[in-house]
């Protein structure tokens, strides 16, 4: 594999990062309009670069996970396209098969380092055939059995992507993260799906209580015909609000707000909504636009 195409794209991305006025996150677009957001997380103390590095070669996105010293920890190829079900995305992760030696000179130009003759990569193709918009899937990268620390990539389908294969570093925005949540309404526990959703807004359908749409930013400029109230409060891993006769408390395995520990959020409530597909189950959805989540009238 020739690395020139990858390095030219990567240099442009790094230039954007160097002039950034805040933390950045990687977005990848694919020819059918599918988009992914990708970042790295750790459960321990390793100083990783959450943004990482990405480039393109022959319409395939190349992903590299790096630490704060610009050492390449892991590499893989990435494809995405529309899933077979509505509002889903197929994500395919493939081994990075090139030798590390072929990249040494080009990496030296952009300050990245790799040790050994081959890149650490996935052992075989991994495919997620139907990832919902806003739903998160993870790829385990490194695990330290002595400390229990895990480093993993987070991949999230997003809307509003371009229609060609491209990568870009964008300014990280405030989003809501709900992972393996527990829900209590008026003190009573409700069973919730064990998924992980991230978005600028989330929707929670609760049997007997209608549906709630919660937004991280003021939605009134883009949703003029629905009334949102600044009723919710995020405090670490807890999100709560009181509307009408209901007090809702949600606990997440992650901090609710991705860019800050606490904050006030906007809430829309439709008490009469009842899901036609799963009327007796709590349902979670997430997206980067409020309109995508609002129930149809």
Confidence (pLDDT) at 11: 45
pLDDT digits (tens, 9 = 90+) for 96-136: 877 777 777 777 777 888 877 888 999 999 999 999 999 99
0.75 cut: is pTM over it?
yes
Percentage of residues of the chain with pLDDT beyond 90: 54
Q: What is the mean pLDDT of residues 166-189?
A: 93
Distance of alpha carbon 158 from alpha carbon 8, whole angstroms: 25
Within 10 A of 220 (CB to CB), how many other CB atoms are there? 13
Confidence (pLDDT) at 1: 45
* 3 state DSSP class of 154: strand
Distance of alpha carbon 10 from alpha carbon 15, whole angstroms: 8
Half-sphere exposure at residue 69, Cβ-oriented, CA atoms within 13 angstroms:
7
Mean of all residue pLDDT scores within the chain: 87
Q: Residue 14: is its pLDDT beyond 60?
A: no
pLDDT digits (tens, 9 = 90+) for 205-246: 999 999 999 999 988 766 667 889 999 999 999 999 999 889
- Confidence class of residue 16 from pLDDT cuts 50, 70 and 90? very low
- Sorted by where each begins, the domain ranges of the chain are 4-171, 176-287
């Amino acid at each position: 594999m020739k690395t020139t195409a990858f390095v030219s794209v990567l240099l442009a991305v790094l230039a954007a990062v160097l002039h950034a006025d805040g933390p950045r996150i990687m977005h990848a677009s694919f020819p059918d309009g599918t988009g992914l957001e990708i970042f790295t997380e750790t459960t321990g103390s390793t100083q990783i670069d959450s943004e990482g590095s990405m480039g393109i070669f022959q319409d395939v996105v190349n992903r590299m996970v790096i630490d704060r010293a610009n050492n390449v920890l892991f590499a893989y190829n990435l494809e995405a396209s529309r899933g077979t079900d509505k509002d889903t995305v197929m994500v395919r992760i493939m081994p990075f098969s090139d030798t590390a030696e072929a990249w040494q000179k080009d990496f030296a130009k952009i300050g990245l380092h790799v040790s050994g003759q081959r890149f650490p990569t996935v052992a075989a193709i991994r495919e997620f055939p139907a990832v919902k918009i806003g739903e998160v899937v993870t790829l385990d990268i490194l695990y330290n059995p002595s400390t229990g620390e895990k480093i993993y990539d987070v991949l999230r389908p997003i809307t509003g992507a371009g229609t060609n294969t491209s990568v870009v570093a964008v300014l990280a925005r405030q989003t809501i993260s709900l992972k393996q949540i527990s829900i209590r309404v008026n003190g009573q526990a409700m069973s919730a799906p064990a998924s992980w959703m991230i978005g600028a807004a989330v929707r929670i359908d609760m049997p007997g209580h209608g549906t709630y749409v919660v937004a991280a930013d003021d939605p009134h400029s883009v949703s003029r015909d629905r009334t949102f109230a600044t009723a919710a409060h995020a405090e670490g891993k807890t999100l709560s609000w009181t509307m009408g006769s209901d007090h809702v408390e949600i606990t997440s395995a992650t901090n609710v707000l991705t860019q800050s520990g606490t904050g006030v959020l906007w809430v829309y409530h439709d008490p009469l909504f009842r899901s036609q597909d799963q009327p007796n189950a709590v349902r979670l959805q997430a997206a980067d636009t409020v309109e995508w989540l609002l129930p149809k009238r």
